[in-house]
Structure 1
Amino acid sequence: MIRVIFFVFSLINLTFCCPGCIDLDELTFVKTINKFRTALIKFDVAFPYGPNHEAYSAFSQAINNKTLSGNSHPDVLIGTISVKDYGDFENKKIADKYDIKVESFPVIKLFIDHDLDNPIHFERGQEDITTEKLFLFLKEHSKVYIQAPGCNQKLDEMTDKFMIQKSQRPEILKQVEEVIGKIDCEEEKSLSKFYAVLMKGIIEKGDDFVNKQQERIAKLLKDKLSKKKVEELTKKLNILSSFKHRDNSKDEL
């Protein structure tokens, strides 16, 4: 009997836990978020489970693994808030503040630079949350560098310059090709060549080339593909996002 109880509690723990997530409440919410430039928070039921929660957990682990290895993301908080609409109505005040309804769970909000009044809403639509979508969302809106799967930090930095310094694009492309040529890992080198492909396309066909490539890959992902191919195309979408996440007001004329 004791073994059965232990097994049940172990199963509950595995189902509901979110490794790397910080569980917040009405007392810790403000002071914790104020310590981070970027805070992604999932509002959910007290005991979440299923594919959406699993994807959020996987995303949290990916972010924290990079933080622990010293690569990036030390100023990013991934948190959860459990909301009860019964009993003591735990954390319901926070949910009400952001007009979050129980029937909409899970709801994900992004808080930037300690702005607690204007969070950015993660638009889930009718589809399940995925780790890839969370990476793209955070990369698009965060003010700290987010290295999504498939991306290269050095090449992302060079992409920033490429998109802003339009008159320098041919020279930056040459520098990018030199960086790619020095990558030892063949798999990483093969994927990184997509940066150069996109830069060449932009030089020849204009900035809209990025949108067309994004549409093309999104269409391919709707087909029945192998797991390996889906992973490759998803990483290419991440690289494409490096070309779209720009402050265009700084573009060089």
Structure 2
Amino acid sequence: MAENKTFNHLFVFALILISTSALFALADDVNGAVTLNSGTFDKILGKFKTVLVKFDTAYPYGHKQDQYKKVAESSIGQPDLLVAEVNIKDYGEKDNDDLKQRYNINKDDFPEYRLFLKNAKDPIPFKGDEEKAEEILDFLVKESGLWLGGPGSIKEFEDLVVRFFKEPQESRASIIKLAEEELTKEKHKSNFEQAEMYVKLMSKLDSDVNFLMKEISRVSKLLAGKLSDKKKHQLKIRQNILNIINAKYRESLDSKIVRNNDDANSSSNEL
């Protein structure tokens, strides 16, 4: 009798161990992302320029979770971006239910993404396809202006774009000339078309300050239509280069605001 009781206890204990192990297997770490809860959410959010949060079930899995992992891994090289996950339970102690209520998250729509931009009043909801990491990343880059690398990324020309935006309007032609000289170098033979795109886009921007946003909108509309795989690939590269230039433009605006604030503070101190 005692042996049976001991066996039953061991059997129950084994079941508990198996169940616990299964739960931890489901709640695996995601490279490039963090898990937030009600106690850490507000503390962490204010420390980053941009935070992409996925609100999801307690133990997410499957294709949509795989896409989230791709998004998280793509964010690793961008210090101004944090990718995070909030796991919501609708049973027991209802973990993170307060965050679910605060941001009007519907469990029937899991996963739901929200993009939090520093100093913005409300987060921006992602309304695309959660089964496509590419769509989530496009949304992230478009709304935040952050650079995430990818097809079309060429460091030498990105550095020239930074210099282009730092220069006053009347001096930008000299940067375009440097870009044209860079384009003739042997090392750019393999990526000539993408490199040339930087030069042409800078030239357009020099004569029309509104060109960038108009072109981003135009390319987005074209990509939404029916295209051959080859044309779609070409436009995706163009879109990525436009997003890179837009990110550098936004960074230049931020640095100008900081400089202006510093100058204003310096003047007020002198007074």
| Fold agreement, TM-score > 0.5 | yes
Write the mapping of 1:39-58 to structure 2, written as runs, cut at 5 A: 39-58=51-70
Q: Which runs of 5+ in 2 are unaligned?
A: 1-17, 257-271
Q: Which residue of 2 aligns with 1:38?
A: 50
Equivalent-residue separation in structure 2 for 1:217 and 1:37 (angstroms): 25
The equivalent of 1:190 in structure 2 is 193
Shift of 1:237: 0.4
Q: CA separation in 2, counterparts of 1:13 and 1:187?
A: 44
Q: Describe how 1:182-221 pairs up with structure 2 within 5 A.
A: 182=185, 184=187, 186-203=189-206, 207-208=210-211, 211-212=214-215, 214-216=217-219, 218-219=221-222
State the superposition RMSD in angstroms. Answer: 3.9
Cross-structure match for 1:3:
none
Which residue is equivalent to 1:102? 107
Alpha-carbon shift at residue 153 of structure 1 (Å)? 4.5
Q: Alpha carbons of 1:221 and 1:194: their partners in 2 closer, same or farther (altered >3 Å)?
A: farther
Match for residue 21 of structure 1?
Answer: 33
Q: Tell me, which stretches of 5 or more residues in structure 1 are unaligned? A: 1-5, 67-72
Report % sequence identity.
Answer: 24
Matches within 5 A, 1:129-140: 130-140=132-142
1:77 paired to 2:77: no
Pair 1:58–1:15, CA change in 2 (3 A): farther
TM-score between both structures, scaled by the size of structure 2? 0.66
Deviations 1:35-93 (A, max 9, x none): 433322111122334544322210211222x3xxxxxx234321111112223211111
What's the TM-score once normalised by structure 1's chain length? 0.70
In the superposition, relative to structure 1, how do residues 213 and 88 fare at CA in structure 2: closer, same or farther (>3 Å)? closer
**Partners of 1:45 and 1:83 within 8 A in 2:** yes
Does residue 88 in structure 1 map to residue 93 in structure 2?
A: yes
Q: Which one has a larger percent helix, Structure 1 or Structure 2?
A: 2
Please give the alpha-carbon distance, in whole angstroms, between the structure 1 residues aligned to 2:122 and 2:41.
Answer: 14
The answer as to whether partners of 2:205 and 2:212 remain within 8 angstroms in 1 is yes
With CA pairs under 8 Å and 6+ residues apart, which has the higher RCO, 1 or 2?
1
